[in-house]
Structure formats: structure tokens, C-alpha cells
Chain A
Amino acid sequence: MLTKLAGGRLFDPANGRHGEVADLWLRDDRIAADPGPGAAPDATYDLTGKVVMAGAIDIHSHIAGGKVNLARLLMGEEHEHHRFAGSACGCGGGSGLATPSTHTTGARYIEMGFTAAFEPAMLGSNARHAHMEMGDIPYIDTGGYLVLGSDDFLLDLIATNAGQAAINDYVAWMLTATQSLAVKVVNPGGINAFKFNARSLDLDEPGPYYGVTPRSVLTVLARAVYELGLPHPLHVHGCNLGVPGNVATTLDTIQAASGLPMHMTHIQFHSYDTEGDRKFSSGAAALAEAVNRTPTLSVDIGQVMFGQTVTASADTMAQRRTAPLAHPRKWLAMDIECDAGCGVVPFRYRDNSYVNALQWAIGLELFLLLDDPWRVFLTTDHPNGAPFTFYPELIRLLMDRDYRLAKLAEIHPDAPAHTTLGSITREYTLAEIAVMTRAAPSRILGLADRGHLAPGASADVTVYTDRPDRRAMFERPDLVFKSGRLVVRDGTLVAMAQGCTHVVRPGFDDLIERRIARHFDERLGLSLKHFRIRDEEIRHGAGPLLHPCRRREVP
């Protein structure tokens, strides 16, 4: 099948195209070179004046696994009120907004022109469940980031000075066994400390039992990820999430990486200072400055948007702390398998709350003060800051200063004084949005054939009408192709498609397996044989899509 997308304006920053008019060819599931005169496409779309981008990629969105399913159960009222019938092509039914069901998740993403989303907190013990859910999300590519850093096995390796090589082997073994794409650390050591009844743990505080500090967990993991040559740097959810004054910890965390690449996630929740009467103010300027001058660092924001949502996190320590603010007043927490945990706390962010208004402003400040769109990613930490369906509104706030100022005037009157947001004039361009949502995510995850429009890339293409109202533009693309198949036309699903699951598989020395096996037998009551996820379990037998790792040495 040969398809010609004729005469659109291509925004393809990975290949240096910033709005130039050109034809784009799709052959079967791939972007193809122009076949030259005489080619007879099976389908031609006249895209004169339209904006053409690769499918968008969300690098941090809680879409699958145990905590998401628990959140669905806890948010029963939301699901009662938002029920969706399946579309004529046999998909898209389900329910939920903040915690959409699998088909609803796929449908809402593809309708907005997103063709991939990655689950950033997959526990090893829950990985099989997460993969089953990801396999049930239609349309989009998926993958999981393995949570390490509070697992008893790793802390034991660090405490007993097993050495970096053993840690690297363990990390590689776990990535392979759980079919993961990247490594995430959540409140390093903190989830484990909570199990020993510590209610907080600062960066340089030795945790209970092992006496290991969060800083050492961070550094050994960042180093393991670097030396194993994983495409994606260590994905870091730092200490003290949500605590006023935590920007100081966040700045220290940047230092802790000591030059190794690191991705700091949902930094909005880690950018709080203690100025003012309420001892709560924005630390965005200081953090943005530090990120701007540290080229090895990338971040995503975790933007807060107003309304009802639910927070779902492996960080039981932080969730336990915010649970008294739950709205509605119910929440749940779990300790999980000597591995990690999960906490689910519903939240309603209100624009007339000083704290919530400031959180909203801090996120936008960060977006606008960080100067390199290749190192900043569009996220709401779905559903923690807001459901991912708020992205078009968020894009409008970034691209339209007048709109932003109008919204700033509506929030709690004391909040604007504690941020610099009102004075920032920057407006994101279409090219920058294409970088932040396509080219940069594919680059930072190592997905060589996604996020751009060069021949050979997966034919994931989104076509928009260029509207002054950027929200309307990004909410409803004209056309979305997934792997060359037209699946959305004028905002409506017209065909079913399935994405794939991306994984990495760095090699490891088999010797580590003996120690891991003993841990599994003695502690977890589960043999390695039953823990390991086989290729044929991924996507109903289709198996995963492998991305290469290139071993490196720390200079």
C-alpha cells in the first residue's frame, strides 16, 4: 500500500524541517522515499496548508499496571459518570477520564495524534500485569520503566559493597526478566525506609536497616544505566516530593549525578521554596537555571491543571504524607514484594487554592524558563498533575501569552506575586512543540525509527489544521496514521490498529543469577523460572521490539 500525503507543511525537527512544504510518502507501515515520477499511490491526501508532524510520544504517563487498576477501582464515581461505547471499528469503549480503561486510553491518545506512551513506574513484581494491560491498549506503542532503588536486593548489594559490576549485572538481569525499556528510581531508598517506619528520608540520610543513603542509590543506578549503555538515562523521581523547600534537595540531586546523564521527572513537584507568609513559593527560577547549565540533564514537568484527578505513585512515603488532603476522602497504600509499593490518593486541584494555583504557575514557569526544548518534555505525570487529555490546553498556554495572562488573572490572587510567570513573554513555536513532543522523546528513549519523518521511520503521522486556537488545533487532528494505517479522520476513530512494546536487553554476567535466584527462593517464594517474562507473553505472542544498548565507561 502506497500513500501520498501531498503538499503539507512538515515539522520534522529531527531532520531539520521546520514547516517546509513537501510531499510525504508512506509505503505499508513505513515512511518511504519519494518514488519519483510515474508512481501510482493507492491513496492521496491533499494536505495543502496543513501541519504535518510525526506521531507524538508521551515519555511519562501512568497508563498500565497494578496502581492504575487500583486507581480505577478507587475512582468508581468518575467511571460511573464517564462511560464510553465502543466505536464501529470495535474499540474505544470503556470508561474513565483520569484513569481511563485500556481501550479508552488508546482511543483518547490516538485521537490527539499521540502514537506512543510509556508507563514510567513498572515494579518488577508487577511487570507481567503491566505488560498484559499495555497489550490491551490499542493504537499506541508502549513500554515500561522498571522501578529500582527501594528493592531489598539492590539495597543489600550496596550495603554489602558488592561493587558496581554486580549492580550493573543485576540491573541488566532485571531489565531483561521484566521486559523493560528503562530504569526509574522513585524516592531512592525511601519506599524501603517507609517499610521500616521512616516517614521521611533526605538525600544524605542513611536509611534504616541498610544504612544506605538516597544519594548512593542514585549514583550507583545512574552509573549502571550509563555503563550498560541504555539509551534512556536514569529516570529520577527524587526525594521529598511535594514538600515545601524541596527545591534545595532537587538542586543537590543534580549535583549527586556528578556529570552522569539523568532525567528528572515531574520536576514541578520538586520545585518548591519556602518564601512568603505561607512558607510556600516557587523555586522554578533557581531550578531552571541549574538545568539550563547542565547539558547532561533532561526533565519533564508534571504540569498541574485544575480539576479532579487522582495521584498514583510508587512513592508510598509521599503518598502517605499527602493522604489527609485526599478529595474525595479515601485513599489506598500498598507495600509490595520486597520490591517497592504504591499509593493512590484522589486530588482536586482548585484555581482558588493558593497552593494549587502556585503549582500550576510553577509548572508553566519551568516550561518557559527552560531554554532547550530538546531537554524538556510535555507531561502532566498523568494522572498525577492532570489527565493526559489536558495536553492541548497546556500547549495553548505555552504558545499563547495573552491566553496565559488571562488564565493567570483567574487564579488565587496571592499566587501570581510568588512566581515570575506574569513577566515571561516567551511563546513556544510549532517547531518547538514538534521537538518537545516528537523528536526529543524519540531521541531520549533511543527509538531510532519513531518521532520523525525520514524514510524508514514507522509511518506514525499526525496532520493538523493550523488554527490560531492552538488548543482546538491539537485537540482534534485531521488525520492520524499509525504504522501507515489511517486510524483517525476528523477526530473520529475509523480503524483499529495495534502498537508494539519497546524494550532493551543489555547483557549481563550469568554469575549474578545465582545470588538473585537465592533471593527469589528464600525471600520471594517464587523461582526465577516463574518470575521471568518470556517474549511470547508480550502483545499476545507478537513479542517486544528490541533497542540496542552500547556499553560505555565512566570517564
Chain B
Amino acid sequence: MTFHPEILCPFCGLGCGDIGIDRDDSGIAPRPSGCPQADRLFRRPMAVATDARMAGTPVAMDRAIAEAARLLGAARAPLIAGLATDVEGVLAALTLAARIGATVDHERSDALFRNLAVLRRFGWSVTTLAELRNRCDLVLVVGPDPAAAFPRLWERWVAPAPAFVPGGGRSVVFLGGKPLPETVQCLAGQIETQGMETDPQPDLATLVTRLRTALAGRTASSDARMAELAARLRAARYAVVVWAAGLFNGPQPDLIVEALARLVRTVDGTTRCAGLPLSGADNLIGANQACTWRTGFPLRTGFDAGAPLHDPDRFDWRARLRDADVTLWISAFRPEVPEFGTSGSVIMLAPPETAIAPEPALFIPVGTPGIDHAGDVFRADSVVALHAGALIDRGLPSVADVIGRMLAALEQSADTREKAGC
């Protein structure tokens, strides 16, 4: 048995780099990290089936690649979705999408688009995790506890004493959401909650509006607690407003995000205040970054006669599935895929342990970035990219390898194309 300390976790987007991994002939297992996701997803057996399957029947990889290229090359409305892979895999998927005119989207991009809608029409003022940890004296958490999606958020980025706050004190206020028991335990006495007095599931939009009204100095006298919170935001040296838009319930969640972006701007006019919009497990942020630098547009972009075309509603993968005749589903991080219905054929790139019913037209097993091969992933605050290394060799190719072979097969079959002197 060998022990590997300081392993980087690529899963939720917090980028924890302190995971301890034990490896022996049977596979790898993590030392308990306090994170249910890392503790589960780093556990992988050495012996896995590395065969591809066509309609459930094992086939050689070459045959599977050829079949995938045939299906994708003939598709009229192809979709490349899931897109849960490292940056290299995403770039390969984008090259393939441009080649066959497919649209691309990430399985978890809903949360991202709630934030992007605001960024694209209004802009925002935001910060990153290390700034939260070192500068912030008042954390305002809006909505449900983000720790549901980012388990070690508080432990790693808020529990340590801030370096640049005189006296080191910091308050954490939950507005319209309840801290999870682990959060209460982690942050001990620092937590206060607001807005839950009368309703266990308060209307977030209304709460945020009340706070903005209070900040504008137009509060009804009955809303004294909101006026007090507004005063604390104004008095804080560096307040950070944290939200996980993916956890917002109710209609038009992007309007809550916009209200928060405006709220941050108001406070930041006189003292410092910044937002921290969190979204993105399974390298969602990396997929969006790569799509943006390669095409100029975020995810939910397709290729119209070779030129990129973006439509956040029409190219949402759930909507696009309805008319996609071939779907390439990419899910390299975890052995689960969401339920989805399509009348078209499905080519799936996923870890070999993935259980799926009904069996797709083609299943091609791939490795997990940070376990089977090295790969780059982005942190949830969108700034820091991390290179996750390889831990074991189970003979599983990366998504980029597999798509590269599909592209080569497509080129071979298209040898009638004019090469234009290239």
C-alpha cells in the first residue's frame, strides 16, 4: 500500500488540494476528508471493464470509434452534452462540434446561466476564495447553504481567521436560508440567520428587495432588523455576499442574482463589498471558460455553417435533446448520469462503473481526470485553474484521446473534401 498526500480534488469546484489517497493492487481509497463527494468519488477499483459496448455487446475500441464517427458524421442535429471532462476534453469536444455542427452544453450549466445572464446584461463586482478567507469581515450568505454543493466551503475559506481584519473577527449572516448542521458546527458561534422568522421557506426575492430598500434608507420602521443588517453591510470593511444560484428555488432566479449584483454595487460605493457567485461541479467553470475562449460565447453554443451561434434557451441540453438525432454524452468525473429521454441515438463517454439503462447505442469507457490521467479543471470562483494529476493506470483513455480518434476517423472518411492547399 502506498500513501499519496496532497492530492487535488477535481469534483465540486473548491479545488481542495489536501486529499490523502491510499493505493494498493485493488485500487485507490481516500482517507476521510470531511467531504462526502471526495470520500466517495476517489474510491475506484483497479479492475474494471475497459471494453466499449455497442448496444450492450462488447466491441473493440477501434470498432466503437468507427461507429461513433459514422453516427456523428451523418447526424443532422447532433448534441454534445454532459461535457463533464477536463479542459483538454472540452476543447476536443468543441473541435468536434465545429466539425459536425453540434451544439454543446454542460450537464450542470443551469446554475451558471443564472449568474451569466446577469454578468452579460449588467456586469458585477466579485471576488475569489482567498480574498474571502483573508479580507472579509462580514459574510452574507443568501439563500440555501452553499455547503450542500460545496461541502468544505466554510471549513477551508471562512473558519480560518482572516489575515487582514483588525482583531480577526468575522460574522456570518444567513439571509433566507438555514445553515446545515455541519456548517453550524464548523463556524461555531459566528452564525446568525435572518429572514426565517415567520417562514421556513421565505421568498428570497422579497428578502433581497427588503435589504436593498433598507440600504437605500427607505425602510419601514417595522423592518428594523433589515435596517440593522444594511447598517452592518455599510460598516463592514470588506463584506462578501455569497450565493449558490443553483440552489435557488422559485421563478426567475436570475432576477435574485441581479438584485444581489446591484446590492453589492451599492455597498461597494463607499466601503468594500464583493459578490461570490458559486457554481460548477465537474469542471463546469472550465467547460464554460474553454467554450468562451474558443468560440467567443459561453456554453449553449452551436455551430451554424462553421460559425458559432449562441442561444441560452434553445441550446439548453434538456431542450436540445428533443430534436437531437445523435447525442454524445460526456461524463468523465462520476459514474452517474442524469435520466434523460431522447428519440435519437446516444454515444456515451463515461467511467466503466457507470450503470445506465437503457443501454446506449454506444458506450465508450473513459478515465477520470485527476484519477486515471492528468487534466486541468477550474475552481468555482472561475479564476484559479488547477492541474489534477494521475493516480492509477487502468488502461482507460481520456475524453480528449477518444474524441481525437473520432476526429481522425471523420477526417479519413471525408477524404473527398477539398484540402484547399492545407
What residues make up the interface of A, taking CB atoms closer than 8 Å to B?
A: 64, 66, 68-70, 72-74, 76, 79-80, 83-90, 93-96, 99-104, 123, 125-126, 128-129, 132-133, 136, 152, 195-197, 209, 326, 330-339, 344, 494-496, 522-527, 529-530, 533-534, 537, 540
Contact = CB atoms under 8 A, between A and B. Distances in A.
A66 B285 CA distance: 12
Contacts of B422: 88-90, 494-496
Contacts of B297: 72, 76, 79, 95
Given A128-B376, A335-B126, 17 more contacts: A73-B292, A79-B310, A86-B306, A93-B306, A101-B292, A101-B296, A126-B385, A129-B383, A195-B272, A332-B123, A333-B125, A339-B130, A344-B123, A494-B422, A522-B160, A525-B156, A530-B386
Contacts of A338: 130-131, 134-135
B384 A125 contact: yes
B385 A132 contact: yes
7 contacts: A100-B296, A197-B271, A333-B125, A336-B131, A338-B130, A526-B130, A530-B15
Interface in B348-393: 376, 378, 382-387
B305 A74 contact: no
B309 interface: yes
A530 B123 contact: no
Nearest to B378: A129
Contacts of B227: none
A88 B422 CA distance: 8
B123 A74 contact: yes
Nearest to B121: A330
B120 A73 contact: yes
A136 B116 CA distance: 23
Interface string B283-324: 000000110111111100001111111100000000000000
B385 A527 contact: no
Contacts, number: 199
B383 A336 contact: yes
A422 to B, nearest CB: 39
Given A86-B98, A332-B124, A526 B296 contact: no
Most chain A C-beta atoms within 10 Å of own C-beta, residue among B88, B116, B122, B418: B122
Contacts of B378: 129
B31 interface: no
B241 to A, nearest CB: 13
A73 B298 contact: yes
A140 to B, nearest CB: 15
Most chain A C-beta atoms within 10 Å of own C-beta, residue among B134, B163, B296: B296
B157 interface: yes
Contact of A80 (B237, B310, B387): B310
A198 B314 CA distance: 45
Contacts of B307: 83-85, 93, 95
Contacts of B116: 73
Interface of B: 6, 8, 15, 17-18, 87-88, 91, 98, 116, 119-131, 133-135, 156-157, 160, 163-164, 237-238, 271-272, 274, 289-290, 292-298, 303-310, 376, 378, 382-387, 418-422
B414 to A, nearest CB: 12
Contacts of A533: 387
A337 B128 contact: yes
A126 B383 contact: yes
Contact of A72 (B121, B129, B271, B296): B296
B293 A133 contact: yes
B131 A104 contact: no
Contacts of A90: 422
A344 B124 CA distance: 10
Contacts of A537: 376, 387
B296 A197 contact: no
B298 A83 contact: no
A525 B130 contact: yes
Contact of B123 (A84, A123, A330): A330
B387 A530 contact: yes
A525 B296 contact: no
B127 A334 contact: yes
Nearest to A95: B296
Contacts of B308: 83, 93-95, 101
A326 B36 CA distance: 45
Contact of B385 (A94, A128, A524): A128
Given A102-B293, A133-B293, A209-B164, A74 B130 contact: no
Nearest to A85: B306
Q: Top 6 closest A-B pairs, CB basis?
A: A85-B306, A88-B420, A95-B296, A89-B422, A101-B296, A83-B307
Most chain A C-beta atoms within 10 Å of own C-beta, residue among B295, B376, B378, B421: B295
A496 B421 CA distance: 10
A524 B17 CA distance: 11
A379 B418 CA distance: 38
A79 B120 CA distance: 12
B135 A79 contact: no
Nearest to B298: A73
Nearest to A83: B307
B131 A195 contact: yes
Contacts of B128: 125, 334-337
Contact of B383 (A74, A125, A332, A333): A125
A80 B419 CA distance: 29
Nearest to B264: A333
Contacts of B238: 195, 197
A525 B290 CA distance: 25
A85 B387 contact: no
A344 B128 CA distance: 16
Contact of A128 (B98, B386, B421): B386
B306 A128 contact: no
B243 to A, nearest CB: 16
Contacts of B386: 128, 530
Contacts of B130: 125, 337-339, 523-526
B383 A94 contact: no
B388 to A, nearest CB: 9
A102 B294 contact: yes
Nearest to B164: A209
Given A85-B305, A93-B306, A330-B123, A72 B383 contact: no
Given A494-B421, A496-B422, A530-B386, A104 B296 contact: yes
Contacts of A336: 127-128, 131, 383
B3 to A, nearest CB: 15
Nearest to A86: B306
Contacts of B8: 530
A132 B15 CA distance: 18
Nearest to A128: B385
A96 to B, nearest CB: 4
Nearest to B420: A88
B237 A335 contact: no
Contact of B131 (A95, A326, A335, A530): A335
A331 B268 CA distance: 14
Contact of A195 (B6, B135, B157, B296): B135
A90 B293 CA distance: 17
A526 B376 contact: no
